[in-house]
């Protein structure tokens, strides 16, 4: 069921277009008395979810009961972030998701199914967990808002990931991330039909059939000037996500004729405060980087490793390592075994010793960066050398002739050399 569907690689939808389209789709549903909106947090600022959430708030007025940002394991949104992203949403309606305490297990995806879709890599049942407010809040509409974009854990974000991970619990998040990591990012990213998506689809189909869930999914791309534009909006049941995911792969997946020996990425300081999120610079470019190449991450806002204090401790303790090393550490150490999302993150943030990762953080020291396995470079020096301000995406050259590939926000896409897709 699609309530609204418009998008292509050349479509450009204005904020006014998005608001009007969502309003039209909501009108077709008929009256609703108690509405829950589940939008992303500030790490998806550029998703246009702010426009859609404000439009839903304006449309439903007093019938909007709750707004639950899909934090996953991230920090709660600050007042400043809420004001920037959701300016017309009443603060009294915003709820903070606690992934350790605010959840209920609604069912288990059978071990036989999990084993089948993961090729036997994971043979345990997967706990489908969701925020109590989503599960038993008594809402007559649950509007899940987000951006479809290539993603390291599930292949293409959003859809039911927004609910089972964004408002999920410790066990479900931990195991989902670890499944994706040990299955292999390169086997997942840029694909909408992955082992983890099949697990989440099973959970939605078998446990959530009575929940009044509607998805509103954007696809964001860039025009020839490098400016972000909305390429699509899809509103409806799971078909809306599937339509958006197909377009996102077309719009956001850049396939290159050659492997890249030097990549420079910029991480917006307002959006990226930790390596937990900032490592998207690694995830989204790793399939494009040549063996013995270098990735330079300009991260002026990064001041910590984990968004969650316990995960931060684990990252500092174990560092970023190869899948084989992390799996061994999981077997040997209870603290890591009890936090598999942290273990997954350690795998995701490693180059598998294939290329060099040079971090240039605004608020972490050389000692802290090198202690977790990255190389370090002073942010000021790298900003002066690569001059990201106003720079066009793609191939560039420094003043002394060094050729490099520049990406202004790697979180918005996926890059791969065609030779690594064969």
On whether both 231 and 302 belong to a single domain, the answer is no
**First-last CA distance in the chain:** 35
Total Cβ atoms within 10 A of residue 10: 10
Residues 6+ apart with CB under 8 A from 33: 63, 140
Question: DSSP state, 125?
Answer: P
CA–CA dist 218, 4 (Å, integer): 11
Number of structural domains (the chain) is: 2
- Could you tell me the residue range of the domain that residue 159 belongs to? 2-253
The SS3 call for residue 157 is strand
SS3 per-residue string spanning 294-357: EEEEEECCCCECCCCHHHHHHHHHHCCCCHHHHHHHHHHCHHHHCCHHHHHHHHHCCCCCCCEE
Last residue of a domain, one of 219, 236, 253: 253
Please give the structure tokens belonging to residue 248: 């996102």
Q: Are 181 and 348 in contact (CB under 8 A)?
A: yes
Q: How many helices (H) and strands (E) does the chain have?
A: 17, 18
Please give the structure tokens belonging to residue 379: 């942010």
The SS3 call for residue 206 is helix
Total Cβ atoms within 10 A of residue 211: 18
Query: Domain with 318 in it: what CATH number?
Result: 3.90.226.30
Please give the structure tokens belonging to residue 321: 């390592």
* pLDDT mean values, one per 10 residues, the chain (422 residues): 95 97 96 97 90 97 97 89 95 94 96 97 96 96 96 92 95 92 90 94 97 97 84 97 96 94 95 92 95 98 92 96 95 95 94 96 97 98 95 94 95 90 73
- 31 Cα distance to chain centroid: 32
Farthest CA pair distance, the chain: 63
Question: DSSP state, 393?
Answer: S
DSSP H or E run through 203 = helix 195-207
On whether both 235 and 327 belong to a single domain, the answer is no
Please give the structure tokens belonging to residue 61: 């007025």
Residue 237: per-residue pLDDT = 96
Last residue of a domain, one of 223, 253, 283: 253
On whether both 364 and 227 belong to a single domain, the answer is no
Q: Are 50 and 82 in contact (CB under 8 A)?
A: no
For the purposes of burial, counting CB atoms within 10 Å of the CB of 334, is it exposed (0-12), middle (13-18) or buried (19 or more)?
exposed
Query: Domain with 42 in it: what CATH number?
Result: 3.40.50.11440
On whether both 277 and 408 belong to a single domain, the answer is yes
CA–CA dist 26, 42 (Å, integer): 24
On whether both 246 and 267 belong to a single domain, the answer is no
On whether both 126 and 208 belong to a single domain, the answer is yes
- CA distances, 109 to each of 101, 102, 154 (Å): 21, 20, 16
Q: What is the DSSP string of 71-99?
A: -TTSPPPPHHHHHHH-TTS-GGGB----T
Residue 411: per-residue pLDDT = 87
On whether both 54 and 100 belong to a single domain, the answer is yes
Residue 422: per-residue pLDDT = 65
Last residue of a domain, one of 192, 227, 253: 253
CA–CA dist 66, 408 (Å, integer): 34
Helices in 184-237 by DSSP H: which ranges? 195-207
On whether both 53 and 119 belong to a single domain, the answer is yes
Residue 152: per-residue pLDDT = 87
On whether both 296 and 173 belong to a single domain, the answer is no
CA nearest 174: which of 345, 347, 372, 351? 345
Residue 18: per-residue pLDDT = 97
On whether both 181 and 218 belong to a single domain, the answer is yes
Residue 227: per-residue pLDDT = 84
pTM of this structure: 0.88
CA–CA dist 331, 333 (Å, integer): 6
Indicate the Cα dihedral angle 278, 284, 289, 295, nearest 10°: -10
On whether both 320 and 194 belong to a single domain, the answer is no
Residue 175: per-residue pLDDT = 94
On whether both 245 and 357 belong to a single domain, the answer is no
Helices in 30-131 by DSSP H: which ranges? 49-60, 79-85, 111-117
Please give the structure tokens belonging to residue 83: 């004001």
In the numeric block, the tokens 């909408």 are attached to 192
Order of strands across the sheet with 228-236? Answer: 2-7, 228-236, 213-222, 141-147, 35-38, 64-67
């Amino acid at each position: 069921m699609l309530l609204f569907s418009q998008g292509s690689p050349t479509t450009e939808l204005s904020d006014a277009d998005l608001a009007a389209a969502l309003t039209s789709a909501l009108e077709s549903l008929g009256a609703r008395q108690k509405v829950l909106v589940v939008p992303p947090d500030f790490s998806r600022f550029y998703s246009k979810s702010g426009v859609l959430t404000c439009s839903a708030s304006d449309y439903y007025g007093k019938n909007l009961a709750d707004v639950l940002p899909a934090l996953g394991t991230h920090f709660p949104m600050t007042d400043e972030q809420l004001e920037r992203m959701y300016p017309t949403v009443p603060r009294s309606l915003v709820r903070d998701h606690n992934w350790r305490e605010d959840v209920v297990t609604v069912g288990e995806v059978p071990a036989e199914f999990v084993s089948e879709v993961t090729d036997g890599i994971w043979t345990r049942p997967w706990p489908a967990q969701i925020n109590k407010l989503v599960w038993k809040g008594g809402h007559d509409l649950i509007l899940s808002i987000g951006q479809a974009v290539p993603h390291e854990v599930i292949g293409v974000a959003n859809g039911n990931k927004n609910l089972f991970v964004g408002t999920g619990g410790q066990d479900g998040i931990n195991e989902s991330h670890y499944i994706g990591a040990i299955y292999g990012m390169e086997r997942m990213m840029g694909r909408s039909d992955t082992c983890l998506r099949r697990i989440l689809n099973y959970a939605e189909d078998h446990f959530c059939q009575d929940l009044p869930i509607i998805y509103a999914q954007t696809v964001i791309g860039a025009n020839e000037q490098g400016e972000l534009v909305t390429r699509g909006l899809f509103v409806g049941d799971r078909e809306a996500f599937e339509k958006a995911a197909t377009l996102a792969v077309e719009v956001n997946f850049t396939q290159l004729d050659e492997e890249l020996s030097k990549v420079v990425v910029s991480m917006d300081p307002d959006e990226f405060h930790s390596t937990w999120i900032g490592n998207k610079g690694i995830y989204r470019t790793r399939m494009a980087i040549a063996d013995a190449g270098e990735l330079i991450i300009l991260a002026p806002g990064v001041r910590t490793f984990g968004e969650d204090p316990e995960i931060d401790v684990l990252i500092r303790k174990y560092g970023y390592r190869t899948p084989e090393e992390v799996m061994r550490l999981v077997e040997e150490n209870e603290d890591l075994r009890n936090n598999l999302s942290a273990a997954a993150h350690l795998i995701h943030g490693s180059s598998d010793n294939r290329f060099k990762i040079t971090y240039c953080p605004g608020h972490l020291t050389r000692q802290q960066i090198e202690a977790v396995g990255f190389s370090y470079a002073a942010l000021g020096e790298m900003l002066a050398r690569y001059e990201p301000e106003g720079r066009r995406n793609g191939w560039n050259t420094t003043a002394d002739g060094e050729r490099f590939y520049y990406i202004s926000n790697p979180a918005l896409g996926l890059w791969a050399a065609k030779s690594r897709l064969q």
